[in-house]
Structure formats: C-alpha cells, structure tokens
Structure 1
Amino acid sequence: MPGRGAEGMRITRRASLALPFLATPALGQNYPSRPIRAVVPFPAGGGVDTFARAIAPALTAALGQPVVVENIGGASSRIGTQVVTRAAPDGLTILITNDTLAAVDALPVAGTPALVPGLAPVLLGATAPQMLITHPRSGIRSAADYTARIKGRGAVHVGVPGLGSSQHFASELLGQALGGRPEHVPYRGGGPLMLDLIAGTIDAGMVTLGAGIDQVREGRLVALGVTGAARSPAAPDTPAFAEAAAPGFAIETWMGILAPAGTPAPILAALHAAAVAAIREAGVVRRLDSLGFAIPAIGPEPFGALLRDTVARFADVAGAVGIRTGDA
C-alpha cells in the first residue's frame, strides 16, 4: 500500500520544463476589476500559508490587482474550502490549498457534498516532502528512536494539522512502513501545531517541510526525517525515512490554486497564466527553493487528474488503517 501511494504522489522537477510560458489572454478591462481574495483554508503559520504568502506579491503583479490572503481554518480545511465552492465564479475568489483537499473528500461526511466537484483546478504550483519534527527535550533524536518508540508499549503522540489531513495520511503510511502506529493529535492547522512543538508540549509533529525548516535550522526543533524518496536540498542534513528506516517509502504533499466551479474559461486561463508567471518569478523561486518546494507548475487538466487520483488513493489508505468519517 505505501509503495503504491508513494509512486502515485511523487512529482518530479522535470514536469516544470514541460509547460511553456503563457501570456495572459486578453479579457478587456473587466478582469480582474477589483482585489482578489485568496482563501487559505488553514490558520496562519502552516505550510500552505507559507506557500500562499510567498507567491501572493508576484501574483498581484501578474494580475494587476491586490491578491489578499485570507486564512479560514477549521474542519481539516473544509470550512475555508466551502467558502470558495460557494463563492461567485468570477475569478475574484480563489483557493490556495494542498492535498488535504483530496483527503477530506476521501472521508465524506454524511449530508455534506464533496468539495472537489465544486472547484476548477488552475495550477498545481509546488510539491514538497513532509517532515517529522520534535523538540530537543523529547528524547527522540532520530528515525531509529522514533521507530523504537512507536513499536514500544508507551504511546507516542504525533500532532497533525487536522485528522484526515494529508499530514495525517502521511504519518499513517509512515507508521505502516515502520511497523508501528502513533497516537495522532489533531490541530486546527500547522501554525497551532508548530507552537506546541516549539513549547515541547507534544512528542512530535508531521508538517510540510516548509512549515518547519526554519525552526530546525535555528535549532529550536529537531528533524527526524523527511518523507520524500531522497533528502531534500533544503534540508541536506535530514535523512529521508527511505534511507534511514523504511526502504522504498516516499510520499510528498502538493499545493495548488483552484477557483469555484463554473468560472468562465477565459478567466481560468488568465488566472493560470498569471499563476505560472508568479511562481516562476526569480524571487519566488528562490524563496520556495529555500523552503524545500519543487515547482512543477502543472496545468489544469493534469492537476485535475492528480486530484481525483489522490482522492481515490487516500480513500484506500483510510480503509486500510480504519480512519472513519467521524474521526476527521
């Protein structure tokens, strides 16, 4: 099971070379006519928020209107995502999120419509490994220590940015590969989780590499491993779990931009072109590289296919480990 998911969720940098630069289609003087609301369905301080704020200034320049990032967290990203699915399809409200979007649709809530059909993919902008991190006082100093702890009798509490989040699925898959399972503690996003990690009040946390790398570099937190197939250039001293404890294990998260379903094709094309220009701006590339993000810049159709495939794969994981709708 982990191998299947790992291969299906890895995206290489080579994909970034396959998409030519697109000029923004002419839409007259009407779009965008006013500032654009970019909803991040997580609290400030997590990986998606970091990504969104890295690209927002360049996206503003490309569109000629302010792109205002708004954090609307809760329910493993459902609340903020629903705000976008219910917004007018005029290109003035967009969603910047990660594969937790697929995770929540893999765990449907009775009486609540699926989220993915209410959205139109614009751009899959970045990919990154997850990072398992802990406080220096935790006593867990390596992947081997963590493996021994989750196989032992005492519970290991691992924080995730919401039960049913992509980090939760990554941690479940890692536990399968290591032969143990931690106790998962849900937070309302990566930001609140990081605060508890820095305070040393939880054993460990699974976060996107970009959300934790600065704290690791400054020595406030300890990185136990990354979930990519190999070490990240942004964290060369941190081993991949594939080399340290779980041969063949790999899973990465992705982040992208979506609009409400029904947004007119010319507006989607304009958003896509502006997003490509923004994510390839030199300052953005440097910032995302420093945070461990790869930049595939995958377009709407392949992004949509990946999104649907990820929903199916996460549903398989949920069935295998017994994650229930009520948990998320």
Structure 2
Amino acid sequence: MTTRRTLLAAAASLLPLPALAQGSTRPIRAIVPFPPGGGVDAFARAFVPAFAAQIGQGVVIENIGGASSRLGTQAVLRAAPDGHTLLITNDTLAAIEALPVAGSGPFIPGLAPVLLGASAPQALVTHPRSGIPDAAAYAARLRAGRPTNIGVPGLGSSQHFASELLAQALGGRPEHISYRGGGPLLIDLLGGTIDGGVVTLGAAIDQIRDGRLVALGVSGLHRSPALPDVPTFAESVAPGFEAETWMGVLAPRATPAPVLAALHAASLAALRDASVAQRLGALGFDTPGHGPDRFGPILRDTAARFAAVAGAVGLRACEA
C-alpha cells in the first residue's frame, strides 16, 4: 500500500538535501556524544563518508563527549531542525533517558529517529597482565569479593548497565570507573591502570586481535563472526545472558518530514554500500538498517528496559 511516508521517502531520495534546505551548502554536523576511539566513533567514521556521498554535501563529525553522552545529545536538541545537525549515538541514549539528572533531559521526545544502523555485542576486556584471563576467573574474583575495578564509558551508559547485569548474574559487583568514552577507557586499560573495561566490541577489536587486550567474553547470545574464538557469557558463566548495543542516527524532532525522509534514504543507502558493510562487519557490527517506524519503538522499549534494570540493581540518577 502506498502511504504518504512512502511517497515522501521516494521523492526525497531523488533530491539532495541542499534542495530541501533552500540551497544551503554548509556542511552537516554529525555529532558523536563520545570522544574519539570508542564504538560509536568507529561506527560513525565507517558510515559518514558514504552518507556524505549519498546526501551530496559535506558532513563533519564532531565528538562532544561528557556526562554519559548528555552533552553531545543536548547540542543536537539545541540545534536548528533543518537537517544540518544529526546525532550518531548508541543505546546510551535510552540509558540516560532511564536515569534522568536534574537540569538535563528528557532527550527522546526531542529527537526524530532516522536510522538504526548497527547492532553489536559488548565486550569485557582486560590487560594480559591483569591476572583475569577468562570469564571464569572474573566470576570467581567477584564472588570472592576481591576488589576489581571495571571501566565504563560513563556511569549510566549502556556499557555500565551491561556490566551491572553481568555482575548480578555472577553474584558479585565490581567498582565501576567512569570515563568520558571508550577511547579514554582503552588508553588507561592498555596502560594497566584498571583491571578491565566494558566497551562495544568494535572499539577494542584491533587490540584484541593483536594481543594487547584479552576479551573475556561478549554479551550476545551467539559468538561474533568477527572474533569467533571469543565465547559468549551465556555459554561460559551466565546462561541466557544477553546485552547487545545498537547505534543509530537521529535528528531534532521538528525537522521537516521531507528532510527526514531524505536523511533516511541517504543513510540507508550508505549503510548498504559494500565497503561500509565490509568495514562494519570486520568491526563486529550487524547492520539491520531499521527505519523510523521500527527504530522509534526500539528506542522507547530500550529506555523502559534500562529503567527496570536501574531499579533492580539500585542505580540512581546521581550516579550517572
């Protein structure tokens, strides 16, 4: 059945964004609310060049990290809704919605989903000299109550939620150390400053492959084809455990429908580009390519699930 949304999308796919934006040639800002070097940044840098080619104008990645992605997300909410500012983020957006902080948010009502581009497992990684060589050793350490510090890309991030869920399943709890993003976390982990860290698999995959870091496990129900030798936590220490992350593109809520349709068409075409798919696959990402009709409910459902987790493990907004 032909719908108004279908017609808009079809028409938009034939028009570059400048035509919809009254001839503007200024670059699009793609705001990543984390520092360089993390999983969202890796996704954005694989995706954005192809998106720029599809949309027909320049796209500049801006990394605005801090406050578990709140700072960068707020920058998008304050931007003009004209298609020239986008948010590229992960399910930490749902996590910060579930853990509101005074003077910050809500976030989801002010954003329009454009494309859910990728999903991936989280990975718990350690330094080779950490004394924690595998998931069983990690579980034993937590159960024994031995002090263990685990870095996460912000308290209240999706990685923090995943780590809390795993710890709950294992019967212990580490001390979580907050970082502005996965990049700074990995720098400290490589230097042996912390015992371990939870990051999106793609953020640490090169260091895992070359032996500088050890992956204790991944959070999906199935092993990642990108690292098939790394077990899932479900098969090793926590039956049924699953806590995958997703990454997507959003725009300010009031962006006109034809512009949103053009952004979606260009985003989906970029995601389906063979070189982008190959690069993301090598980083451990799946690329579902869900449009706004599916992305919106997934976003809201994820926020509700994180709110339930926060209640179960006792996370408070002030901890985020």
Match of 2:224 in 1: 232
1:12-161 equivalences under 5 Å are 24-26=13-15, 29-31=19-21, 33-161=25-153
Moved over 6 A (4+): none
1:92-125 residue CA offsets vs partner (Å, 9 max, x unmatched): 0000000000000100112333011110000000
CA RMSD of aligned residues (A): 1.3
User: Counterparts of 2:38 and 2:105 in 1: how far apart (Å)?
Assistant: 26
| Contact 2:217–2:231, Cα closer than 8 Å, also in 1 | yes
Whether contact under 8 Å (1:55, 1:278) holds in the other structure is yes
Cα deviation digits, residues 23-59 of structure 1 (max 9, x gap): 7143673446321100000000000000000011101
* CA displacement 1:188-216 (0-9 Å, x = unmatched): 11010000111111000000000011000
> Secondary structure of 2:49's match?
helix
**What TM-score do you get using the length of structure 1 for normalisation?**
0.92
Q: Distance in 2 between matches of 1:112 and 1:68?
A: 26
Once the two structures are aligned, what percentage of the paired residues are identical? 68
Correspondence for 2:316 among 295, 304, 324: 324
How many aligned positions are there?
A: 308
Q: Judge conservation of contact 1:119–1:259 (CA < 8 Å) in 2.
A: yes
SS state at 2:19 partner: coil
Q: CA deviation at 1:180?
A: 1.5
Contact 1:128-1:293 within 8 A present in 2 as well:
yes
- Given residue 42 of structure 1, which amino acid in structure 2 is its aligned partner? F
Match among 158, 169, 193 for residue 161 of structure 2? 169
Tell me the amino acid that sits aligned with residue 284 of structure 1. V
Moved more, 162-171 or 104-113: 104-113
Report whether the alignment pairs 1:198 with 2:190.
yes
Contact 2:145-2:172 within 8 A present in 1 as well: no
Superimposed CA distance per residue, residues 66-88 of structure 1 (whole angstroms, 9 cap, x where no aligned partner): 11100000000000000001100
Q: Secondary structure of the equivalent of 1:154?
A: coil
Query: 5+ residue gaps in structure 1?
Result: 1-20
1:128–1:252 Cα contact (<8 Å) kept: yes
Specify the code of the residue in structure 1 equivalent to 2:19.
Answer: Q
CA contact (8 A) 1:25 1:266 kept: no
Runs of 5+ consecutive residues of structure 2 not aligned to the other structure = 1-8
Asked if the contact 2:111–2:250 (Cα under 8 Å) also holds between the matched residues in 1, the reply is: yes
Partner Cα distance (1:84, 1:152) in 2: 44
**Within 2, Cα distance between the matches of 1:75 and 1:100?**
11
* Match in the other structure for 1:245: 237
Whole-angstrom distance in 1 between the partners of 2:96 and 2:212: 31
